[in-house]
Amino acid sequence: MNPKSGIYINFLPDHTHVSVSQKDQSVLDVALRAGIEIDHTCGGHGTCGTCLVRVVEGLEKLAPRNEIESEMAEDRGFRADERLACQTCPVAGLSVQMRRS
Ligand code: FES
């Protein structure tokens, strides 16, 4: 995890650390603001699943899935460490593995 203060997301595999500047900012929002490409076909509405990331570090500090994400996780059989970047808002540091498109 990044030793700097504040909340950071470490985007893997490139190890790009990006600070979370606003409360309730999704992982997808943080990535896009930093110019990091994450597929997001539905525009962040939680309907496409293309923004799926694997949480490598910090999963235990995330809030449980919301209703939108829970439905998709059940339908598609997400693993416990797989989260929709558009529906996940970090409250502590995270490391996430992005899929390569
Ligand atoms: S961008 Fe479509 S589910 Fe996240």
Per-residue model confidence (pLDDT) at position 6:
84
Q: Is the pTM of this model over 0.85?
A: yes
Residue closest via CA to ligand 1's atom 3 equals 46
With respect to residue 75, please indicate whether it lies within any of the assigned structural domains.
yes
Alpha-carbon distance of 2 to 73, in angstroms, equals: 29
Per-residue model confidence (pLDDT) at position 2:
42
pLDDT tens across 29-76, in order?
999 999 999 999 999 999 999 999 999 999 999 999 999 999 999 999
Percent of the chain with pLDDT over 90: 87
With respect to residue 54, please indicate whether it lies within any of the assigned structural domains.
yes
Q: For the chain, how many structural domains are there in total?
A: 1
With respect to residue 3, please indicate whether it lies within any of the assigned structural domains.
no
CATH number, domain with residue 34: 3.10.20.30
Q: State yes or no: pLDDT of 1 exceeds 90.
A: no
Range of the domain at 86: 8-98
Pocket test for ligand 1, best of 29, 51, 99 (most atoms within 8 A of CB): 51
CB-CB contact of 99 with 48 (8 Å)? no
With respect to residue 67, please indicate whether it lies within any of the assigned structural domains.
yes
Kindly give the number of the ligand 1 atom that is closest to the alpha carbon of 46: 3
- For the chain, give the mean pLDDT: 93
Query: Over the range 12-27, which residues count as b (16 or more CB within 10 Å of their CB) and which as e?
Result: eeeeebbebeeeeebb
With respect to residue 1, please indicate whether it lies within any of the assigned structural domains.
no
Say which residues have a Cβ less than 8 Å from residue 79's Cβ, sequence separation at least 6. Answer: 54
Kindly give the number of the ligand 1 atom that is closest to the alpha carbon of 72: 3
Q: Kindly state if the Cβ of 84 falls inside 6 Å of ligand 1.
A: yes
Q: What's the CA angle centered on 72, arms 91 and 28, to 5 degrees?
A: 40
Alpha-carbon distance of 39 to 53, in angstroms, equals: 10
Alpha-carbon distance of 95 to 58, in angstroms, equals: 7
